[in-house]
Amino acid sequence: MIRSVLVANRGEIARRVFRTCRSLGIGTVAVYSDADASAAHVREADIAVRLPGSAPADTYLRGELVVRAALAAGADAVHPGYGFLSEDAGFATAVTDAGLVWIGPPPSAISAMASKTRAKSLMGAAGVPLLSSVDPAVVTAGDLPVLVKASAGGGGRGMRVVRDLAALADEVASARAEAVAAFGDGSVFVEPYVEGGRHVEVQILADAHGTVWALGTRDCSLQRRHQKVVEEAPAPGLSVSLRDTLRDAAVAAASAVDYRGAGTVEFLVAPGGRAYFLEMNTRLQVEHPVTECVYGVDLVALQIRVAEGYALGAPPSPVGHAVSARLYAEDPARSWRPWAGVVHRLSVGAGADAEAGAFGVRRRGLRGGGPGPYIYGPVGRNPSGAPTLGPQIHVSVPDPHPCDPVTSRGALSAGLRVDSGVDDGDVVGVHYDPMLAKVIAWAPTRAEAVRRLAYELERARIHGPVTNRSLLVRSLRHPEFLAGEMDTGFYDRHLAELTDADEAGGIRLAALAAALADAASSPSRFGGWRNVPSQPQAKRYRAGDDEVEIRYRLGRGGLVAEGFDEVRLVSAAPSFVVLEVGGVRRGFEVACYSGGDVHVDSSLGSFALAVLPRFPDPTTRTSPGSLLAPMPGTVVRVADGIAVGKPVRAGQPLMWLEAMKMEHRVVSPADGTLTALHAVPGRQVEVGALLAVVTTEETTP
């Protein structure tokens, strides 16, 4: 029996595993980098061991340090989570060689699937349908579009869609460079790119006694940069025969490598309904909660039980539908730019402290945590004498449902789950993935689950860095998604409309509410009431790239605000303002934080404002043509042939920054001449740092 587990990971997945361990009576050990010294997963563990340094290559990717930490902490098992070393066969071997239990598949299975090219060969021999690879040297215009993929890749790294034959060589070189930086292996391959394809995967779970469960399908077609954003189970709109094909292929893939534990077999489903094997992930997937919600199981608990030698019984039956959305600290409207900073508040669902109506009525709830109560049947014996463990099968929706989280702070309302890597006050740093949380909704039908998830996300209180929350809500309500007709090109087609900032009226009302809340917090209350005309009070805010000025005064007739003829002030307090707009009352919750950040939440949406000084500082202007770092990160490379004094074209890549596990191109804003270059590979830069200057005829003094 396992008594203590070290999780060789961080953030949300470490907390996820810890919660299951606690429910099973298993001790927990965290590892942490210097950047994560005060992280939530460190605070939750029974024991924590430091990995000196901040970069992943110096900390979470150092297998020998992780094994040493497990031994020092007295752990008897290691759970890898996902990412980092989770699919490193050498690390799995080192764990078992140290006398520890590896909660994952055999190293031989990991090794067999580690290379996508080798995995394809194995799957072809097992009869699994494949897309044939193409030699980059012989690709013709007739073969386009093609997809360049890193052989050792994952998480969208080292992937490029190529539609122009002239760009193929550069894209292959770029993919190789990114693959070397991310995986230490620059090998890539090319395969046909299927337009309009869907990303569908099958969750598998196998024991050491020959049993393989295929726990239904998941659709993960909504992706940005080949990374998943929205997932659901079961995948909608599949025929019975296609579901059977996917299940049989997934079981065959697992059997071909003598698989054990949890894993995922991923497929590309072409518009005609034909499925092709993509890869097998020999670990727990980020999106595993939707399967847990539908099948009423705890996959982490089952991983642990399989590692302890238990045999699986009969698989459970699915109930209902679950949809998950990944909440990222990023700006989809600006090329998915990640954001770092303090998470002042993250509260979703019944945990939102305020469901504030026009009259200030509030309900206070509990913030959500992780996976909930999972019910297991008795441990028995199968005919071969091996111990069995099977989830109890419910023929109706259990109460509470397995999707309901239970934490030390309580449970959310039925059918909603939040798996988060941060708590209020935590910092999103530049070294790791910018995912804040996964929000999962379960309901008897897909339409109900989608509606619930959009509703809860829209009303969540998320204060701090810019997030993709608005994009998620709009995606879930898009007609194409509601009809279940999405594919991997969804954001290529719809990103502009999904990020259109049609919120001018809401921003101005939010700024007015912020100004009135600020006035209500001052001793003089609204600048003092006067019976004679006076100069209006003025407040300036920045919302995104826009500036909003609010000018108001309070007289005998009430509020008089410039540009708000139909707005009447009902009440104002430092954190809550009620306005009547055209006869309709709306409540505005106002939260102010140090540094001048103000967040306003209402039925019109959630708006982040920055307080601006009354008189702007003229010295803060930058020279025309200056290219500034859009985020803190590391300059990983500068484009070949780039040099001061040489001409550049509009849109030409000049350099690449790496931040939060993603590469970001910095391109020339116009045709001109590169007159300054401050970017050096390996240089750490802060947001706003000067990288280069491109001079055009218009910008020449």
Q: Which of 31-45, 134-148, 655-669 has the highest mean pLDDT?
A: 31-45
Residue 524 pLDDT greater than 80, yes or no? no
Residue 393 pLDDT greater than 60, yes or no? no
Q: Are residues 84 and 228 in the same domain?
A: no
Q: What percent of the chain has pLDDT over 90?
A: 58
Look at residues 192, 211, 227 and tell me which one is the last residue of a structural domain.
Answer: 192
Q: Is 464 inside a domain boundary?
A: yes
Which is more confidently placed, 244 or 358? 244
Q: Are residues 418 and 455 in the same domain?
A: yes
Q: pLDDT band for 525, please (50, 70, 90 cuts).
A: low
Range of lowest pLDDT (104-118, 503-517, 558-572, 662-676): 662-676
Among the listed residues 630, 629, 628, 595, the one whose alpha carbon sits nearest the alpha carbon of residue 609? 595
Residue 583 pLDDT greater than 50, yes or no? yes
Rounded distance between C-alpha atoms, residue 679 and residue 79, angstroms: 39
- The per-residue pLDDT for 500 is 87
- Mean pLDDT within 516-522: 89
Residue 535 pLDDT greater than 80, yes or no? no
Question: What is the CATH classification number for the domain harbouring 82?
Answer: 3.40.50.20
Q: Beta partners for 296?
A: none
Cβ within 8 Å of residue 418, ≥6 positions away: 348, 349, 351, 367, 368, 369, 370, 405, 412, 437, 438, 439, 440
Which is more confidently placed, 636 or 522? 636
Q: pLDDT band for 155, please (50, 70, 90 cuts).
A: low
Please, are residues 278 and 151 in contact by the beta-carbon 8 Å criterion? Answer: no
Rounded distance between C-alpha atoms, residue 254 and residue 24, angstroms: 27
Burial classification of residue 432, based on how many CB atoms lie within 10 Å of its CB (0-12 exposed, 13-18 middle, 19 or more buried): buried
Helix (H/G/I), strand (E/B), else coil: 425 = coil
User: Quick count: other Cβ atoms within 10 Å of Cβ 440?
Assistant: 29
Among the listed residues 279, 283, 285, 284, the one whose alpha carbon sits nearest the alpha carbon of residue 119? 279
- The per-residue pLDDT for 372 is 33
Q: Is 122 inside a domain boundary?
A: no
DSSP character at residue 130: B
Q: In the chain, how many domains are there?
A: 5
- The per-residue pLDDT for 641 is 83
pLDDT digits (tens, 9 = 90+) for 680-698: 887 888 777 889 999 987 6
Burial classification of residue 697, based on how many CB atoms lie within 10 Å of its CB (0-12 exposed, 13-18 middle, 19 or more buried): exposed
Q: pLDDT band for 289, please (50, 70, 90 cuts).
A: very high
Q: Is 459 inside a domain boundary?
A: yes
Among the listed residues 419, 378, 414, 410, the one whose alpha carbon sits nearest the alpha carbon of residue 399? 414
Q: pLDDT band for 353, please (50, 70, 90 cuts).
A: very low
- Mean pLDDT within 595-612: 93
Residue 488 pLDDT greater than 80, yes or no? yes
Q: pLDDT band for 123, please (50, 70, 90 cuts).
A: confident
H, E, C per residue of 354-409: CCCCCCCCCCCCCCCCCCCCCCECCCEECCCCCEEECECCCCCCCCCCCCCCEECC
Q: pLDDT band for 538, please (50, 70, 90 cuts).
A: very high
- Mean pLDDT within 618-622: 53
Q: Is 121 inside a domain boundary?
A: no
Q: Which helix (H) or strand (E) holds 295?
A: helix 288-295
Q: Is 517 inside a domain boundary?
A: yes
Q: How many helices (H) and strands (E) in the chain? A: 15, 43
Residue 349 pLDDT greater than 60, yes or no? yes
Q: Are residues 234 and 366 in the same domain?
A: yes
pTM: 0.83
Q: Are residues 634 and 575 in the same domain?
A: no
Residue 529 pLDDT greater than 70, yes or no? no
Which is more confidently placed, 430 or 182? 430
Token pair for residue 648? 């550049």
- The per-residue pLDDT for 301 is 96
Rounded distance between C-alpha atoms, residue 226 and residue 596, angstroms: 36
Q: Which of 44-48, 362-366, 650-654 has the highest mean pLDDT?
A: 44-48
User: Quick count: other Cβ atoms within 10 Å of Cβ 504?
Assistant: 11
Q: pLDDT band for 615, please (50, 70, 90 cuts).
A: low
Q: Are residues 93 and 208 in the same domain?
A: no
Q: Are residues 421 and 477 in the same domain?
A: yes
- Mean pLDDT within 22-34: 97
- The per-residue pLDDT for 622 is 60
- The per-residue pLDDT for 193 is 84
- Mean pLDDT within 67-78: 98
Among the listed residues 603, 338, 600, 356, the one whose alpha carbon sits nearest the alpha carbon of residue 462? 600
- The per-residue pLDDT for 673 is 92
Question: What is the CATH classification number for the domain harbouring 178?
Answer: 3.30.1490.20
Q: Are residues 167 and 306 in the same domain?
A: no
- Mean pLDDT within 352-376: 32
283 is catalytic: yes
Q: Are residues 168 and 269 in the same domain?
A: no
Q: How many residues does the chain have?
A: 701
**Amino acid at position 161, single letter:** V
- The per-residue pLDDT for 124 is 86
Q: Are residues 596 and 575 in the same domain?
A: yes
- The per-residue pLDDT for 145 is 87
Q: Are residues 341 and 428 in the same domain?
A: yes
- The per-residue pLDDT for 368 is 33
Q: Is 117 inside a domain boundary?
A: no
- The per-residue pLDDT for 241 is 95
Q: Are residues 313 and 375 in the same domain?
A: yes
Question: What is the CATH classification number for the domain harbouring 648?
Answer: 2.40.50.100
Question: What is the CATH classification number for the domain harbouring 522?
Answer: 3.30.700.30
- The per-residue pLDDT for 531 is 52
Where do we find the tokens 């990288």?
A: 691
Rounded distance between C-alpha atoms, residue 269 and residue 131, angstroms: 11
Token pair for residue 13? 């997945």
Q: Are residues 155 and 249 in the same domain?
A: no
- The per-residue pLDDT for 369 is 34
Rounded distance between C-alpha atoms, residue 104 and residue 299, angstroms: 12
Range of lowest pLDDT (163-177, 593-607, 653-667): 653-667
Q: pLDDT band for 215, please (50, 70, 90 cuts).
A: very high
List the Cα angle 574/578/582 in 5-degree steps: 150
Q: Is 110 inside a domain boundary?
A: no
Computed over every residue of the chain, the mean pLDDT equals 85
User: Cα 47 vs. chain centroid, distance in angstroms?
Assistant: 27
- The per-residue pLDDT for 91 is 98
- The per-residue pLDDT for 373 is 31
The strand pair at 77-79 and 101-102 is best described as parallel
Residue among 15, 218, 283, 345 flagged as catalytic: 283
CA distances to 430, 475, 614 from 233, rounded to whole Å, are 32, 17, 52
**Amino acid at position 249, single letter:** A
Look at residues 464, 498, 532 and tell me which one is the last residue of a structural domain.
Answer: 498
- The per-residue pLDDT for 157 is 73
Rounded distance between C-alpha atoms, residue 179 and residue 149, angstroms: 9
Rounded distance between C-alpha atoms, residue 538 and residue 528, angstroms: 14
- Mean pLDDT within 443-456: 97
Spatial strand order in the sheet of 647-648: 626-628, 690-695, 672-677, 647-648
- The per-residue pLDDT for 395 is 26
Range of lowest pLDDT (67-71, 176-180, 306-310, 465-469): 176-180
Which is more confidently placed, 324 or 615? 324
Range of lowest pLDDT (298-307, 462-471, 621-630): 621-630
Please, are residues 677 and 642 in contact by the beta-carbon 8 Å criterion? Answer: yes
Q: pLDDT band for 661, please (50, 70, 90 cuts).
A: low
Look at residues 156, 173, 192 and tell me which one is the last residue of a structural domain.
Answer: 192
- Mean pLDDT within 516-532: 68
Which is more confidently placed, 312 or 352? 312
Rg of the chain taking only CA atoms, in angstroms: 27
Residue 396 pLDDT greater than 70, yes or no? no
CA distances to 136, 154, 429 from 426, rounded to whole Å, are 45, 27, 9
pLDDT digits (tens, 9 = 90+) for 460-477: 999 999 999 999 999 999
Residue 425 pLDDT greater than 80, yes or no? yes
- The per-residue pLDDT for 447 is 97
Question: What is the CATH classification number for the domain harbouring 358?
Answer: 3.30.470.20
User: Cα 60 vs. chain centroid, distance in angstroms?
Assistant: 19
Q: Is 74 inside a domain boundary?
A: yes
Rounded distance between C-alpha atoms, residue 282 and residue 254, angstroms: 10
CA distances to 350, 353, 354, 461, 576 from 361, rounded to whole Å, are 15, 11, 8, 16, 11
Please, are residues 467 and 458 in contact by the beta-carbon 8 Å criterion? Answer: no
Count of alpha carbons within 13 angstroms of residue 434, beta-carbon side: 30
- Mean pLDDT within 183-194: 80
Count of alpha carbons within 13 angstroms of residue 386, beta-carbon side: 17
Q: pLDDT band for 678, please (50, 70, 90 cuts).
A: confident
Range of the domain at 387: 198-498
Range of lowest pLDDT (239-248, 436-445, 491-500, 634-643): 634-643
Please, are residues 51 and 65 in contact by the beta-carbon 8 Å criterion? Answer: yes
What long-range pairs does 282-285 form, CB within 8 A, spacing at least 24? 282/86, 282/87, 282/104, 282/105, 282/109, 282/110, 282/113, 282/114, 283/80, 283/81, 283/82, 283/86, 283/87, 283/104, 283/105, 284/13, 284/81, 284/82, 284/86, 285/82, 285/201, 285/203
User: Cα 40 vs. chain centroid, distance in angstroms?
Assistant: 17
- The per-residue pLDDT for 508 is 94
Q: Which of 45-54, 189-198, 388-397 has the highest mean pLDDT?
A: 45-54
Please, are residues 275 and 129 in contact by the beta-carbon 8 Å criterion? Answer: yes
Range of lowest pLDDT (184-198, 211-225, 273-287): 184-198
